[in-house]
Each structure stands twice: as structure tokens, then as C-alpha cells.
Amino acid sequence: MQFGIIGSGSWATALAKILADNQHTIHWWFRDANSIRHIQQRHHNPHYLNSAYFDPSLLRMSTDVNEVAKNSDVVVMAVPSAYIADALSNLAPGALKGKKIVSALKGILPASNQLLNDYLAQHFDVSIEDYFAVLGPCHAEEVAAEKLSYLTFSGLDEATAGEIASHFKTEYLNTVTNHDVNGVQYAAVLKNIYALGAGIAHGLEYGDNFLSVYIANSADEMVKFSRKVIQGFSLENTSVNYAASVYLGDLLVTCYSLYSRNRMFGNMIGKGYSVKAAQLELNMVAEGYNASRCIYQTNQKLQAEIPIATTIYEILWEHLSPQEGFKKIEGWLQ
């Protein structure tokens, strides 16, 4: 099985490390040829996870996305959701025919307000049966440090999901399969919003007691939204364990971890930074920012009860002050 990776950020680099540790040849797309030359010469990504070293003989790096797709049986897409459409803009319409697609995105495409599977179906005729999502709880930094982590591979075809997952299993990474492909993607989107809110709460100097109540209520909101999503999505087995690692576990680590860029972004907002200043200071993509608007717009049709996520959207996009927003949230928590 030949693997391709589209993306060169921290999460793409972590996934490449996992595959390389299992001695897989990786067809790897980079936007910048200078990064390719650096890895060939110095054996690590110059911008992300510098501690992760690669055997260059396993890497087939290219700035041509069509070349990567052509040579891959499984194409892993690991570009931030805001930039994936641009990354695929030069990809030929039939380039993904017969390929298995693994989404490592953790957001919604903001320009079209779509999950990646819907975007790929519209533009590249990718069937949902050939689409899989890989999600945490799993931080790129801990993968680089080889600290035990877990990944969930979700797809309608659980047998194929399991086969793909087997190539990512290592001594420091366990894999789980799941069939709730739409639900896990929306859960990943929502947990970034709630983590951003957890950061705001920390910046406002709320304590651990409040944060635990905030996260418990956020988990409840996530379940309500996810159930609304799967109502219109036919599955043979609709039983979902929302306490599983891909739902609750990912929410917890993203809200609490010091590695969480969404938490860091929110912390700056809580301390009084403007959105623009926080973006410049962080110098990384915090998926929860765009996701908050996408979920708000999506929920205009679904009408799920998600007042916490809605308030985070209002703080980020409608100039509601963090102090006032969290006063509102205080009154809803149970």
C-alpha cells in the first residue's frame, strides 16, 4: 500500500513520522521546494517538529500534487481546513479516482462551509465509501516525542478503515476504528471551539473548578449537535459511544493541554488581545476561530442547542466582550 501525504505542517509531519517508522515509502507534497531541499540535506522539517528525523530514502517529496496523488493508493490530506481548497486547486479532476482518501483535517472548509468529504464529492467525485477520517486525541508534539497516543480511523467501511489503521500502529501509537464518519468530523470541529473557549476562560482567570463544569457542559452540547447531524445520515448501526476517545477524549486534551493552539489562542483573547493580534502572536492556525462561524451558520438549519459554541462565535466574530460572554455562559452551566 503506497501512502501519499498532502501537507507539510506539524500534523502532516507527525503522520509522516509514523508511516516512516513503519518503513513505508511516503509520497509527500510540499508547497515550498526549499523545505524539500532542507529535509533531503538535514533530514528534518525546517519549520515543524524539528526533533522528528527521517530517512530520506523513504521519502518521495514533490511540489506537484498530481504526482503525489498518482503514485499513492491512500492519500492523506493534512492541510489546515482554510487552505485545503487552495492546496488542491491544481489537482486534476480525475486524480483521486480509485484512491482511498484519509482526512486529517480538524475543521470545516470556511469558504464553502463543507466537510472535506462533501467538498471532494463535489469537485473530485470521491465516494463516501472511499473516504476516511483520522482523529485523536493525539498531539503532533507527543507523536514526535513518541509518547503513547491513540488515533481513531473512521469510515463507513470499517474493514478498510482497520486495514489503513494497521499501517499507523506503532509501539507509541494505538489505533481504533469507528463508523461515524460525519459525527467524528463535527466533533473535531466543535472540540476546537470549546478549547478556544477554555483558553478564554483561563485568560479571564477562571479556575479549574469552573473549567471542569465548562468542559462537562461543552461535552453535552457536542453530543446534542452530533445527534442532530447523524439524524439525516443513514448508518447500519447508529449507536455511538460519545464517551469514547475520539469524542470526549479529544475534547478533554484539546481543552487542557498546553500544546493546544486553540487553547493558546483563546487564552490571548481572554487576556485582551484582538483576534488579529492573537493570530499574529500565535503564528499557527487555530482551527476553532473559523470553525466557530462555520458551526454557527450550519446550526441555523440544524437548530441544535449549543449556546456555549454560539457565545464563542459572538466573542470572536460579533465583538461581544469575553467578560460579558462568559457571564452569559456562567448562567447556563449545570
Residue 193 shares a structural domain with residue 309: yes
Q: Which amino acid is at 209?
A: N
Residue 78 shares a structural domain with residue 226: no
Residue pLDDT tens, the chain, 334 long: 999 999 999 999 999 999 999 999 999 999 999 999 999 999 999 999 999 999 999 999 999 999 999 999 999 999 999 899 999 999 999 999 999 999 999 889 988 899 999 999 999 999 999 999 999 898 899 999 999 999 999 999 999 999 999 999 999 999 999 999 999 999 999 999 999 999 999 999 999 999 999 999 999 999 999 888 777 554 444 578 888 888 999 999 999 988 888 999 999 999 999 999 998 888 777 889 999 999 999 999 989 999 999 999 999 999 999 999 999 999 999 8
Residue 153 shares a structural domain with residue 301: no
Record the pTM.
0.91
Give the residue from 157, 179, 201 where a domain finishes: 179
- Strands 131-135 and 149-154 come out as antiparallel
Give the residue from 179, 198, 216 where a domain finishes: 179
Residue 128 shares a structural domain with residue 32: yes
Structural domain of residue 228, as residue ranges?
Answer: 182-332
Q: What is the domain-level CATH number for residue 159?
A: 3.40.50.720
Q: How many Å apart are CA 318 and CA 185, to the nearest integer?
A: 25
Cross-strand partners of 153: 134, 177
Neighbours of 285 (CB within 10 A): 21
Residue 262 shares a structural domain with residue 300: yes
Assign residue 30 a region: left if phi > 0, alpha if psi is -120 to 50, beta otherwise?
beta
Please state the separation of Cα 17 from the chain's center in Å: 17
Give the residue from 158, 179, 200 where a domain finishes: 179
Residue 22 shares a structural domain with residue 71: yes
Q: How many Å apart are CA 181 and CA 179, to the nearest integer?
A: 6
Q: How many Å apart are CA 317 and CA 49, to the nearest integer?
A: 32
Provide the number of structural domains found in the chain.
Answer: 2
DSSP string, 139-188: -HHHHHTT--EEEEEE-S-HHHHHHHHHTT-BTTEEEEEES-HHHHHHHH
Whether the CB-CB separation of 195 and 263 falls below 8 Å is answered with yes
Q: What is the DSSP letter of 110?
A: T
- Tell me which residue has cell 472540540: 191
Residue 208 shares a structural domain with residue 228: yes
Residue 48 shares a structural domain with residue 105: yes
pLDDT digits (tens, 9 = 90+) for 101-150: 999 998 899 888 999 999 999 999 999 999 999 998 988 999 999 999 99
Residue 294 shares a structural domain with residue 222: yes
Tell whether omega for the bond before 46 is within 30 degrees of 0, i.e. cis.
no
Whether the CB-CB separation of 139 and 149 falls below 8 Å is answered with yes
Neighbours of 108 (CB within 10 A): 27
Residue 300 shares a structural domain with residue 262: yes
Residue 93 shares a structural domain with residue 118: yes
Q: Which of 150, 186, 210 is nearest to 302 (CA)?
A: 186
Residue 99 shares a structural domain with residue 202: no
Burial class (CB in 10 A: 0-12, 13-18, 19+), 331: exposed
Q: What is the domain-level CATH number for residue 270?
A: 1.10.1040.10
